[in-house]
Amino acid sequence: MTARLPETSSIPERIAALRAAMAREGVAATLVPSADPHLSEYLPPRWQGRQWLSGFTGSVGTLVVTADFAGVWVDSRYWVQAEQQLAGTGVQLMKMMGGQQTQPHIDWLAQNVPADAAVAVDGAVLGVASARALADALGARGVTLRTDLDLLDHVWSARPSLPVEAVYEHVAPHADTSRAGKLDQLRRALQEKGAQWHFISTLDDLAWLFNLRGADVSYNPVFVAHALIGLDAATLFVAEGKVPPALAAALARDGVQVAPYAQAAAALAALPAGATLLVDPRRVTYGLLQAVPSTVKLVESVNPTTFFKSRKTAAEAEHIRATMEQDGAALAEFFAWFEQALGRETVTELTVDERLTAARERRPGFVSLSFGTIAGFNANGAMPHYRATRESHSTIAGDGLLLIDSGGQYLDGTTDITRVVPIGTPSDAQRRDFTVVLKGMMALSRAHFPRGVRSPMLDAIARAPIWEAGADYGHGTGHGVGYFLNVHEGPQVISHYAPAEPWTAMEEGMITSVEPGIYRPGKWGVRIENLVLNQPAGKTELGDFLKFETLTLCPIDTRCIDLALLRADEREWLNAYHDTVRRRVSPHVSGDAKAWLDARTQPV
For 30-56, how does the pLDDT look when each residue is reduced to its tens digit (9 = 90+)? 999 999 999 998 888 999 999 999 999
Distance, in Å, from the CA atom of 193 to the CA atom of 278, rounded to the nearest integer, reads 8
Residue 212: the pLDDT is: 98
- Kindly tell me if the per-residue pLDDT of 99 is higher than 50: no
CA distances from 524 to 380, 528, 553 (A): 7, 14, 25
Q: What pLDDT is stored for residue 100 in this prediction?
A: 45
Residue 77 confidence (pLDDT) above 80: no
Q: Which fold has domain 168-308?
A: Creatine Amidinohydrolase; Chain A, domain 1 (3.40.350)
Would you identify the CATH topology of the domain 11-155? Creatine Amidinohydrolase; Chain A, domain 1 (3.40.350)
d(CA 51, CA 63): 9
For position 76, what pLDDT does the model report?
A: 78
Q: Is 478 exposed, middle or buried (0-12, 13-18, 19+ CB in 10 A)?
A: buried
Domain boundaries, given as residue ranges, for the chain: 11-155, 168-308, 311-600
The pLDDT of residue 103: 66
Q: Which of 1-5, 134-138, 147-151, 266-270 has the highest mean pLDDT?
A: 266-270
Query: Which of 8-12, 380-384, 428-432, 563-567 bottoms out in mean pLDDT, i.e. has the lowest?
Result: 8-12
Are 93 and 71 in contact by the 8 Å Cβ rule? The answer is yes
Percent of the chain whose pLDDT exceeds 90: 88
How many whole angstroms separate alpha carbon 442 and alpha carbon 455?
A: 17
CATH of domain 311-600: 3.90.230.10
Q: Helix, strand, or coil here: 206?
A: helix
Q: What is the pLDDT of residues 194-232, one digit of tens each?
A: 999 999 999 999 999 999 999 999 999 999 999 999 999
- Asked if the domains at 11-155 and 168-308 fall in one CATH topology, the answer is yes
- Mean pLDDT is lowest, of 2-11, 315-324, 368-377, for 2-11
What is the pLDDT, as a whole number, of residue 41? 86
Mean of pLDDT values over 279-293: 93
Position 1 pLDDT exceeds 50: no
Taking only the tens place, the pLDDT of each residue in 479-510 is 999 999 999 999 999 999 899 999 999 999 99
> With helix as H, strand as E and coil as C, how does 428-460 read?
HHHHHHHHHHHHHHHHHHCCEEECCCEHHHHHH
Render the burial of 467-477: b for 16+ CB within 10 Å, e for the rest. Answer: eebebebbbbb
- Residue 66 neighbours by CB under 8 Å, 6+ apart: 28, 29, 30, 112, 113
Residue 6's pLDDT band (cuts 50, 70, 90)? low
DSSP state letters, 282-312: TSSBHHHHTTS-TTSEEEE---HHHHHHHS-
Does this model's pTM top 0.85? My answer is yes
Q: 349 to each of 238, 258, 337, 555, how far by Cα in Å?
A: 39, 44, 14, 20
Helix then strand then coil, % of the chain, to nearest 5: 40, 25, 40
Q: What is the pLDDT of residues 414-467, one digit of tens each?
A: 999 999 999 999 999 999 999 999 999 999 999 999 999 999 999 999 999 999
pLDDT at 78: 82
